[in-house]
Amino acid sequence: MIKVKVDAQDTAESVEQIKNVIGGEIEERWGQYTLNVSNDKANGSIRFITFDWGVSLLELDITFFDEVLIQVDTSDFNPISFYYCLEGYCGHKFGYQPKDDIKIMEQFQSVILTNRDGGITDRYFPKDVKISQTVIQVRRKPFLRKRLNQGEELNKQLYKVFLDTDHEKVFAYYGSYNLKIAEVMTSIKKIKAKGMVRIMMIEGYVYQILSMHMMQHNKEVMNKRPQTSLLKRELKKIRSYAKKIEKNIAKDFSLEEISTETGLTQAKLQEGFKLLYNKTVTEYIRNARLELARDYIATTEMNISEVVYSIGFTSRSYFSKIFKEKFGLSPSEFKNSKKSAQVVG
């Protein structure tokens, strides 16, 4: 087992201490630091960005070739940490707990943790398992000062954790699966912009993920945990098929066909799409087509009829009707507004 001791006072120092044990090189671009590792201990990267409102983003995309134990003592730094695994899993326990009390952070699970002042946190990573995880760390004092002026955004239990600026309390929340956070994490990985624009886009997504963790915690504490009969593997199938729909948007998908391909009943498909996207299957397909149509109208020379048929609609009048319902303008009005903006620019 590889053991790493971290007693740094911020995320940057923590990654430096990890590097001293597992090796690799750290590079910096526009405030984003990346530890790249490719050796007999690990392969992958650990990235982090620190924002001026008391929050840092730590992203792990790495496979360890031996079990790893990271013992963290962040007495003064001691953030509230919001964890989410897009791929793989890892373990956690507070230092005062027995060794067998390790709790698993499962794939797609929302987890919020903070230790008491002077406490040790143990993080476990399995051998030969690809880990893709985000950890959003919140330093309470600057966050409260800059971003959290009212407690109304949080339920009372979580708000007390934010107000515990002397780090006297332990807090642990292992929530249900949240695939909506997975969609935002995937969006971060797809950002193609560079420089400061990239950092600003990431910052927006970080705030969105943080809000999603908080809202889920709030709902579940208030006994509003989403009720579903679906298993995690079934939710993953639905998420995967939703991506297939986006890639084949002109195809005439039927609920019966999707049910056959996924092995899920039509009732489960409808339940899963409502849970993940707040839409029925038909509504999801229609919305995806409209979003793509808007992009085509705004960024290509295609005329409206070409756009209609390229996204799988057969009636231009029906397309115009639902486009205006969604975006407030007819397709022609939207196209003209884009042309006017280009002329002015």
**What one-letter code names the amino acid at 42?**
A
How many other CB atoms sit within 10 Å of the CB of residue 251? 12
Q: CA torsion 313→316→321→325, rounded to 10°?
A: 50
Is pLDDT larger for residue 158 or for residue 203?
203
Backbone angles phi, psi at 231, to 5 degrees: -85, 165
Q: How far is CA 72 from CA 51, 161, 205, in A?
A: 21, 19, 26
Q: Topology of 232-344 in CATH? A: Arc Repressor Mutant, subunit A (1.10.10)
- Which range (42-46, 121-125, 154-158, 311-315) has the least confidence? 154-158
Beta pairing partners, 35: 26, 46
Identify the residue with better confidence: 7 or 144: 7
18 C-beta neighbours (distance < 10 Å), count: 22
Kindly report, residue by residue over 231-256, the tens digit of the pLDDT: 778 888 888 898 899 889 989 898 89
Q: Tell whether the model's pLDDT for residue 220 goes beyond 70.
A: yes
pLDDT computed for residue 44 by the predictor = 96
The domain spans of the chain are 2-221, 232-344
Out of 127-131, 273-277, 317-321, which region has the weakest mean confidence (pLDDT)? 273-277
Q: How confident is the model at residue 219 (pLDDT cuts 50, 70, 90)?
A: confident
Computed over every residue of the chain, the mean pLDDT equals 84
Residue 154 has pLDDT above 70, yes or no: no
| pLDDT category of residue 227 using cuts at 50, 70 and 90 | low
Distance CA 31, CA 175 (A): 31
Give the model's confidence band at 345: pLDDT under 50 very low, under 70 low, under 90 confident, else very high. Answer: very low
Q: Is the pTM of this model over 0.75?
A: no
Model confidence at 207, in pLDDT bands (50, 70, 90)? confident
Residues 27-54 have a mean pLDDT of 90
- Mean pLDDT value of segment 221-225: 64
The domain covering 2-221 belongs, at the CATH homologous superfamily level, to Jelly Rolls (2.60.120.10)
Q: What share of the chain has pLDDT > 70, as a percent?
A: 86
Residue 344 pLDDT: 43
Bridge-based pairing state of the strands 103-105 and 90-94:
antiparallel
Single-letter code of the amino acid located at 309:
Y
SS3 305: helix
Summarised one tens digit per residue, pLDDT across range 93-136 is: 887 777 777 888 888 888 988 876 666 788 899 999 999 999 99
Higher pLDDT, 191 or 344: 191
Q: Are strands 68-72 and 2-6 parallel, antiparallel or unpaired?
A: parallel
pLDDT, tens digit, 9 for 90 and up, residues 42-61: 999 999 998 888 888 999 99
